Amino acid sequence: MANGFIVLDEKDWEGMDQEQRSWMVFKTLKSIDARLSKLEKRPTADKCFAFMGGAIGGFLTVLGMKWGG
């Protein structure tokens, strides 16, 4: 669980009973909720910079497709 997500394969999932499966789903959802909460609490400036970066990147892509391809 190096990146915070619980990674199970089919073999692990099949070897668990229903209570263990429910617990793994619960832990995964709690982990996702914690990560989303951190993202939502980011400063407005970060969100604006991300938006501007996407807009500039999209504009440059359109120019590149027009002139390069």
**Residues 32-68: tens digit of each pLDDT:** 899 889 888 888 888 899 999 999 999 999 999 988 7
Higher pLDDT, 4 or 50: 50
With beta carbons less than 8 A apart as the criterion, state whether 6 and 27 touch.
Answer: yes
**pLDDT score, position 12:** 83
Amino acid found at 29? L
* Upper half-sphere CA count for residue 50 (Cβ side, 13 Å): 7
Model pLDDT, residue 3: 62
> Is the pTM above the cut of 0.85?
no
Question: CA-CA distance, 19 to 3, in Å (whole number)?
Answer: 24
Please report the sign of the dihedral spanned by the C-alpha atoms of residue 50, residue 54, residue 59, residue 65: positive
